[in-house]
Every structure is written in structure tokens, then in C-alpha cells.
Amino acid sequence: MDFEVDSMSSRKNTSVKCSNCGARLVVPPQARTICCAACRATTNVGRSRDPVRQAVGIVKAVVLNICSSISSLSSSSWSSGSSSYGYPTMGQPSSFPRVRGKKRAVLVGISYAGRRYELKGTVNDVNCMRYMLTERFGFPAECILVLTEGERDPYRVPTKENLRAAMRWLVSGCVAGDSLVFHFSGHGVQRLDSSGDEMDGFDEALCPLDFESNGTIMDDEINDTLVRPLRRGVKLHALVDACHSGTVLDLPYLCRLSRAGYYQWENHTASSGVYKGTNGGLAILISGCDDHQTSADTSAFAGSASTGAMTYSFIQAMESEPGTTYGRLLTAMRAAIRASGIGITINGPIASLMRKVFNFGSTQVPQLSSSEMFDIYRKPFLL
């Protein structure tokens, strides 16, 4: 097998020391400044680079690419055999879609019906996302896998093992040109970090339907399953409408966007040195809130339906400005949630599916993280 490292991927792995605390920071291409996630200080990178350090960065990039390639020499390593987490990765259930379109999606909505923490809007979230993906972005209906408690197929009920299988189905056999979407509407939690790779000392996790008996799905596992297999030319968008979801994919970079519209990418590369990026592809997460925040499930007025705040604001932003950039999308979503205390409504074709009004005040702030940094005001949001 040939291993290729172009100049862009080489520059992406060069590094500098934080001007304040001395921590090693990974510098992406064309960056002039970088914010340290440990001490929040900003370090000027400049245009001129030490050629020795640049050469070292290239060597590191080659090693990382080789390690990533070895870990995925066989595509079956992601869909059969055993994973590093010790759970069996058997063949996909026969009821999962067999069509391998260039656009595929997994949509998960968990209500936890009958429990004290029941959510009312998650199934509506899934229905609205499915409509938007098929009608606005051209996703074939037969290439969308839905997991909710109402599914008759036992393999499409969002238990822990079924959710794992669905994530593996989404990325299995991915090739250049594939556009993948993972949407989760449900509960999220934080757990104490035992591996030492979290800046705040906590791992983030998603709660499947049976999490009380079988446990949560940790961000380390989600990264291993959804992010690491992404080959060059493959694009994944994860939309997670859950509490504590800011970095639930464990991606290397988190975008800090001020209310005035200024942004900086924070380096969240694991201090342990564990690689959390892709195998050459692109992974982007839009989450319902920061790691320390909670996400709201809206209560609706009589005659309206409930929905998750993040899903609502995302669809509203896409309806209001098709072809928007990531920066404008994130700004619009945050503005919608801030305005929720006075009530806002959706206009457009999707209104027939989700005609609803916010009637709560919320402090949650949607977040953007990525496997690589980019200009959020120039890069168009495309699925």
C-alpha cells in the first residue's frame, strides 16, 4: 500500500509552543494565531517557519498517516471482527439499508418513554431532519437509517448495541465523495475522564435507551467508530442535540465564536498524544451546547409539537438562508435560541411538519468543532 502525505497535511501537523504556558500547540495551514486550550493565551504563529521544525512536523505527519492506514488496512476492521473497545463488531443486521448511496444518514431519536427524564420532541426532531435531508439535500430515503422507540424492527430500537451497529453501518466502506450525516436527539452526560485526554477532566457520552442497564457510549468510542475510519474525500456532519455535547466527537479543534462574530479555533488535541483525527477525511460536529451546558427539549403551546432547541434552530437557519456558511449558520442558530424567550416561529415548507413556538428561556449555546480548521465565513455548509 502506498502512503501519501501532501504538503497541506504535512503543514497541518507542525507545532509551536504556547507563548504563555509552553504547551505544545498543533498549527494548521495558513494560521497566523492559535489559542491554547489550557491557558487561553493567544500565540502568534507568523508566516516564517523554522525549517527544522517544519521537517520534524513532516516526519510526524508521515508516522501518523502510516499508523492510521495500518489501523484500517481492511475495511472489515470497522464492520467485522473486534474493536479496541472489546465489543463484537459483527455483520450489520439484515434489516439495515443495503443501498450504499453517496449520501447516507443515521437519525436517532430517544424519548425514554415512561421515565422521569422522558423527552417529548426527539421523534419530531428525527422526522423533521429526515424531511430536510431528502427534500433539501437530496439524500435518498432508502439510504437513511432511523432509530426510535416506535420502530417495529427490534434492530432499529436505539439500544446501545443497535446504536453502535448503526454508527458502524454509516461509515462502513466509505469512499471519496461520500457525504454522511449522524443526527442524535436524546440525553447526554459527562463522566470523569480516566484516560487523561480531556482538558476539563470529563468525558462526554450519549445515553442510549438502555443506558441505565448497559451504560453510555463514551466520546472516545464515538471518535473511534465515526471519525477515525473517514478516508480522504469523505465528509461527515454530526448534529447532536443533547446535553454536554460540545466535544462529544472528541475532534481536535473547537471553534470559539463571540457574539460580535469574531472566532478562534481552540486546539483540543489530546495531551496524551492519542490521535483523534480522521484517516484523511473531514469530520464536523454541530452540537446543541457546550460541554458544561444542558440542551432544552421545548414545551409547546396547545396544538403544537415539541422539538429539541438545537434541531429547531438548525432547521430554521437552513430554511432562512439556504447555501449559508458555517459561521452564518452557527450565528443564526445562537440568535434563534437567544430569542426563544419571546417566541419565534418557522416559515417555509417545513412549517407543516414542525409548526411550533419556543416558550422558554435558554442559555445553551450551539458549538462547532472539526477535524481541521477552516474559515467559517468562507466555507459553505454543504451536505
237 is catalytic: no
Helices and strands in the chain: count of H runs, count of E runs: 8, 15
Catalytic choice (187, 237, 244, 268):
187
Could you give the CA distance from residue 156 to residue 16 in angstroms, rounded to a whole number? 47
| H helix intervals, the chain | 7-12, 51-71, 122-136, 160-171, 211-214, 219-222, 309-320, 326-338
Burial (CB count <10 Å: 0-12, 13-18, 19+), residue 37: buried
Q: Angle CA(210)–CA(108)–CA(69) in degrees, nearest 5?
A: 95
Is residue 299 within 8 Å of residue 306, measured between CB atoms?
A: yes
- Cα–Cα distances in angstroms (integers) from residue 349 to residues 131, 136, 256, 352, 383, in the given order: 10, 10, 32, 6, 19
The C-alpha cell 419530531 sits at: 124
The C-alpha cell 481492511 sits at: 74
Could you give the CA distance from residue 262 to residue 243 in angstroms, rounded to a whole number? 25
243 is catalytic: yes
Could you give the CA distance from residue 110 to residue 295 in angstroms, rounded to a whole number? 14
Burial (CB count <10 Å: 0-12, 13-18, 19+), residue 101: middle
Could you give the CA distance from residue 125 to residue 108 in angstroms, rounded to a whole number? 9
Grid cell locating 214: 448497559
Catalytic choice (36, 243, 255, 289):
243
Could you give the CA distance from residue 314 to residue 166 in angstroms, rounded to a whole number? 23
Backbone phi and psi for residue 149, each to the nearest 5 degrees, phi listed first: -70, -20
Nearest CA to 227 out of 276, 186, 263 is that of: 276
Catalytic residue ranges = 187, 243
